[in-house]
Amino acid sequence: MTGAATLLKDVFGFDAFRPGQEEIVSAVTAGENVLAIMPTGGGKSLCFQLPALMREGVTVVISPLIALMRDQVRALKAAGVEAGALTSGNTEDETNAVWQALDDGRLKLLYIAPERLAAGSALNMLRRIGVSLIAVDEAHCVSQWGHDFRPDYLRIGELRRALDVPLAAFTATADAETREEIVAKLFDGHAPQSFLHGFDRPNLHLAFAAKDSPRKQILSFAAARKGQSGIVYCGTRAKTETLAQALRETGHVAAAYHGGMLPEDRREVEARFNVEDGLIVVATVAFGMGVDKPDIRWVAHADLPKSIEAYYQEIGRAGRDGAPAETLTLFGADDIRLRRAQIDEGLAPPERRMADHARLNALLGLAEAHECRRAKLLQYFGEEADGCGNCDLCDTPPETFDGTEAVRKALSAILRTDEWFGAGHLIDILTGTLTDKIRARRHDELPTFGVGQDVSRHAWQGIFRQMMGHDLIRPDPERHGALRMTEAARPILRGEESIILRRDTLITKTRRAAPKALVSDEDAPLLSALKAKRRALAEAAKVPAYVVFNDRTLIEMAETRPQTLDEMAGITGVGAKKLERYGDDFLNVITGEAARLHPSRRKLAGRMAGSLYDQLLQVQSDLVRGQDGHEKPLSCSASLLAKVASHRPSSAEDLARLLGEKRAERFGPAFLDVLATAD
């Protein structure tokens, strides 16, 4: 059977595995039960796609969204792999083609949605087609309290038992608690071979900003990245519509996406996003796991996400190709109040609400961090990291101050008003602002009235927001959102602990420079030309542009400028099938001239057999009229030379069986010399 490294190069176009992939591929291929936690963009899909090609039988892939399945099937077919999906979105012809491939024994990967497992006929169908491996994508969906719970994922453990085949589960988003749920529900509590390969996405620039005219902040961020594909996540459906309209009015190509849209309208936006360069989708989290586009250059949050896991997964949709990508998350006091209320007013049991508050606290801690955000984020997932140099806090370290006294004054105001008021009224008390509400309640007679006059109202808003971020105060849903003190604040109030705050984070920082260009100025025109060719080929084939080649592959082409098909085959992401299909087109863009190779030689491009073919061809030309140059001309066909180069016979007898007696007599010794020195 063909080895993993050979398939990796010939099918997927990669010279080497990414960190962690090889050991996972080995375990899955060997039939081990596997749980792999890998960062988005770390190459999860290859860890079950490659073993599927190395194992007998069919690998069934359970994946949560139709769009995700269709994209992966398209990419596999483009690489020459027999794959198919049985989904409710299939046409009759597509479904028939899948069944025909299964009946013929050609299909290696079958994608199905978890909902299909609810049908009684599903198990019999999977038994009949000879399933030898189950791969579960987005395995965190099995977590009942997670942000992407899918009830039908709970059936997968039963399926594994019924088919009695190994199961490999993959996800990029799983804290320790979620990992325990995956093991319990998919593997019956029997620990699989587990791989935890880091959560770091070093190509992502991380940034947070306190809300200060949030629409302008998003428009400014998008303007600095005009022409690049991006996603803006919003907390409400209405905001997606208004923000998408604002982006269009400022010259961007933008579309809204949310759960209230008709299914066909959502599918149209998904299809456009996959195919169009530079489209911005303004979406609720409904635009989620189906996003498989590798060249998204930025993700912005117009509102605070629900948890640190949700944040990590949503920003992870940027830069899956490994090229630089940007993120920005806006947050404010209203976001914190909303997220607290959603937890407190939910139906979850008390212990789950406590866990959800802890997750939100982790995200707020990241938002209000004073030092490297990446180190803070990775610390949450149990990893250690030093300053990254690729986040806003490393770019511009914030000014901090000892906020202990200010926090104690704010807490005093909260307690002296019996925890019945929100930040606006409390700031009026602290700044000594006489309002009708202050007079009516005689709060101007409180000892705390006016004790914070040395701090501006703007700065007090930042202090209250940071207090909520540090979970010192929380909005009380039973008191219409009035702020109440938490146990965490008592040591500060009693003078037992101090707290450091950032200096008025509502003051707009110096705007970060526009993102670094993907290539040098010298290579930029060629990259644009390569993208134009990619777009034309993708439109003609009616597939997303990245199915042809992703951005990273085009960047490498622009920088290295291959001149031959052999050199083109060395580009990351250019496998044998894509080289055969697209090699000439892209070489023509780079050199202005397509490669002229015999079709038999073209199929060997980029492999050792290609180099052998060239050497054999040279030897043949020297001997076409024999050793003395006076014999009758004799030669081998191109396809025959290709067979010799591919099979590499090691004896005169083996070579004679390929060439026949006459050709073996003339070329045999010289050909064997070439083959013997090939290693």
What's the pLDDT at 511? 44
Q: Each residue of 360-398: pLDDT tens digit?
A: 888 998 998 888 999 989 888 878 877 888 999 999 998
Cβ atoms within 10 A of the Cβ of 164, count?
6
Cβ atoms within 10 A of the Cβ of 277, count?
16
Cβ atoms within 10 A of the Cβ of 526, count?
17
Q: Each residue of 187-240: pLDDT tens digit?
A: 987 889 999 877 888 899 999 999 988 999 999 999 999 889 999 999 999 999
What is the C-alpha separation between 255 and 268, in angstroms, rounded? 10
- Estimate to the nearest angstrom the gap between the alpha carbon of 77 and the chain centroid: 21
Q: Each residue of 239-266: pLDDT tens digit?
A: 999 999 999 999 999 999 998 899 889 8
Please, what is the average pLDDT of the chain? 86
What's the pLDDT at 481? 75
Coil, strand or helix at 309: helix
Distances (CA, A) of 600 to 113, 147, 610, 639, 642: 41, 52, 10, 5, 6
What's the pLDDT at 87? 84
Closest among 192, 220, 188, 226 to 207, alpha carbons compared: 220
- Percent above pLDDT 70 for the chain: 93
Q: Each residue of 612-629: pLDDT tens digit?
A: 888 888 888 788 888 877
pLDDT band of 638, cuts 50, 70, 90: confident
Q: Which amino acid is at 580?
A: E
Residue 270, H or E segment: helix 263-275
Output phi, psi for 277, to 5 deg. Answer: -80, 135
Least confident of 156-160, 506-510, 632-636: 506-510
Closest among 499, 483, 482 to 491, alpha carbons compared: 499
Q: Each residue of 543-583: pLDDT tens digit?
A: 888 889 988 899 899 888 888 888 898 898 888 889 888 98
Closest among 493, 452, 502 to 472, alpha carbons compared: 493
pTM of the entire predicted model: 0.68
Give the total residue count for the chain.
679
What's the pLDDT at 288? 64
- Annotate 328-345 with b (16+ C-beta within 10 A) or e (fewer): bbbbbbebbbbbbeebbe
Q: Each residue of 439-482: pLDDT tens digit?
A: 999 999 999 999 999 999 989 988 998 898 888 998 887 777 78
